[in-house]
A and B are shown apart, each in its own frame.
Chain A
Amino acid sequence: MGRATLINAALFAMLPLTALMALLLDEPFIITLTTKVAILALAGVGLNIALGLGGLVSLGHAAFFGIGGYAMGILAHHAQTYTPLMEAPFLLEGSNSMPLIWLVAVIAGAFAAMAIGALSLRTSGVYFIMITLAFGQMLYYFAISWPAYGGEDGLSIYVRNGFPGLNTLVPIQFFAICFAVLALVLFGVGRLAASPFGLALAGARQNPERVQTVGLSPYRLRLLAFVISGAITALAGALFADLNRFVSPTMLSWHMSGEIMIFVILGGVGRLFGPVAGAALFILLEHVLGGLSDYWHVYLGILLLLVVLFARGGLIGTLAGREVAHD
């Protein structure tokens, strides 16, 4: 386990080091790329709670990612146009404040995950994959055919939302915010995985009958994991929308779900730092391969195939030299 811990620490330190290096070299674009890695890693960390800990293969996590994005988009849009979100029964105004937006995103994501999870978890296996995919698509089409918030064109926000005491338009400061959020969430998820709840959840993945025998309900454990997972992914979505200052139905598409899943699997399913490694590798590949060829998706596809077929356990699993079967 020593080697894996070392790799984790190196991975984790890599993000701020890259950002600082870019700052010294005056390369704001690289800072932005690093910020993107931190945010996408956060989305992966969210999915990994359901996927890695809970064994729930959700192919609809873009729904939560997009809900977070739209929470930001809608609040900031109303603040930007000085129109209230709602007047009756009580006045609800838009907002430019990141902490408030995060709160709304997390709550909205959690509620959506509760509704989707409560229905989806009645099924299992491949039905679960399909039904989460279908719920994701449902929201995707809803966003497309909802003209009030841009429909297919999405919503642009002209000024990045604010965080008390910081200037979020400076790339390194926005990176610091995203990285701090990622670090906090990683710490929380690490604690969660080691908590009685996390252990029971892992138990429900490995042997639901046994968990039931000791008096716990696998359904409720999984639902709670799904809700936490959706809430974190929504938080990542809000940050992602803020990074681009733009939100559109693309964030809800099933390609996004697939991509978030790729981060997790590339890095290593069920490993705390897996999504960080996966997102970093993915963005790096996108950048390097994208520079080599217009058709870089072919290479990415081939690489992914090779990872699935030959490097089980993902990047961290391979580096740590220990095969971990994801049951």
Chain B
Amino acid sequence: MSTILLIEQILNGLQFGVMLFLMAAGLTLIFGVMGLINLAHGSLYMVGAFAAAAVAGVTGSFVLALIASLVAAAAAGALVELLVIRRLYARDHLDQVLATFALILIFSEGTRWLFGSFPLFLDIPTAFAGPVMLPGGIQYPAYRLLIIAIGLLIAFGLFQLIARTRIGIQIRAGESDREMIAALGVDISKLYTIVFALGAGLAGLAGALVGAIQSVQVGMGEPVLILAFVVIVIGGIGSIKGALVGALLVGLTDTLGGVLLPELFGTFMEASAATAVGSSLASMSIYILMAGVLLFKPTGLYGRA
């Protein structure tokens, strides 16, 4: 394997990881602050992608499409929180799982109703359509670099928001003791709606960014949702830092596993068998990673018991 290919794959892994972080950050915030397990997070990712594709189709502007994805997903999130989710905080996880599973059905079929079963396409903006020359003679798609940049920027912004702002302080306080911050006069139900909408907006943005690489279709959120869950379980539920580390780990493992494992098996097996064994192990690799982490740290890398 050449170094150039390896570096390309590492960049792909980074891009995937950053994407997963946008999903996982919202998921872990919602769980950490409200104790709510939200299976419908993938639907908000889908809502973002569809909103972006629809707006891009009408206006032709990618920036507007991204803004639309954020706004639409945040609005959908806020609406869902007001109508359904707030009745679930006091319930056990079982009720939350079932209710949010029901939301997935409603969102998926509702979207199919509105947009039909065929995938939509969201074009990469022309300025970022081509490759970029990186030092060392590596050609890499500019759009993927853009995703990495946007993702890291948002990660930085999120850390600032949590660490430095008033609302961040309230969010962190809500994680540790919700009765106390309610007693101190923070409107906790407003805070919950804001956190939920924030998480939804991040998921929607992730959907729009990825929608330009893949197609925008019903059910696109579910595989990502499962991966995002793996990320927050590895990182430790409720920890933004854990979500970032977990997302990068999962992104790199998944991408590099797909390339390296068949090669590895190829060194001592027949080529066709090595490809089969390697690729099937690669598709399981992140779950093996997760089981391994939990074996040593049952609450994830940065989780609290």
Contact = CB atoms under 8 A, between A and B. Distances in A.
Nearest to B95: A308
A23 B232 CA distance: 52
Given A123-B298, A147-B276, A297-B105, A130 B97 contact: no
Interface string A103-131: 00000000000000001001101110111
Interface string B88-100: 1000111101110
A141 B108 contact: no
Interface string A49-68: 00100000101000000000
A26 B232 CA distance: 54
B87 interface: yes
A144 interface: yes
B26 to A, nearest CB: 16
A304 B237 CA distance: 27
Contacts of A308: 88, 95, 98-99, 102
Contacts of B299: 123, 127
Interface size class on chain B is: 35 or more
Nearest to B290: A134
Interface string A129-156: 1110111011001101111000000000
B84 to A, nearest CB: 6
A134 B287 contact: yes
Taking chain B's interface residues, is the majority helix, strand, or loop, or is none over half, making it mixed?
A: helix
Contacts of B276: 145, 147
Given A126-B37, A126-B93, A142 B84 contact: no
Interface of B: 31, 37, 84, 87-88, 92-95, 97-99, 101-106, 108-110, 112-113, 222, 226, 229-230, 232-233, 237, 276, 279-280, 283-284, 287-288, 290-291, 294-295, 298-300
Given A302-B102, A308-B95, A127 B298 contact: yes
A129 B37 contact: yes
Given A125-B93, A141-B280, A304-B102, A297 B291 contact: no
A131 B109 contact: no
A305 B237 contact: no
Interface string A288-327: 0000000111101111110011001000000000000011
A51 B94 contact: yes
Nearest to A141: B283
Closest A-B pairs by Cβ, 9 of them:
A301-B105, A304-B102, A145-B280, A301-B106, A138-B287, A141-B283, A297-B109, A298-B109, A301-B102
A119 B298 CA distance: 10
B259 to A, nearest CB: 15
Contact of B106 (A130, A258, A269, A298): A298
A131 B233 contact: yes
Given A122-B298, A326-B92, A305 B102 contact: yes
A138 B230 CA distance: 11
A326 B229 CA distance: 25
Interface of A: 51, 57, 59, 119, 122-123, 125-127, 129-131, 133-135, 137-138, 141-142, 144-147, 254, 258, 261-262, 265, 269, 295-298, 300-305, 308-309, 312, 326-327
A133 B298 contact: no
A76 B302 CA distance: 47
A144 B109 contact: no
Given A127-B237, A254-B222, A304-B101, 16 more contacts: A119-B291, A123-B299, A125-B93, A126-B237, A127-B233, A134-B233, A141-B284, A145-B280, A262-B101, A295-B110, A295-B113, A301-B102, A301-B103, A303-B102, A308-B99, A309-B84
Nearest to B300: A127
Contact of A300 (B92, B105, B233, B300): B105
B96 to A, nearest CB: 9
9 contacts: A51-B94, A127-B298, A131-B290, A138-B284, A261-B98, A297-B108, A297-B109, A301-B109, A304-B98
A148 to B, nearest CB: 9
A309 B99 contact: yes
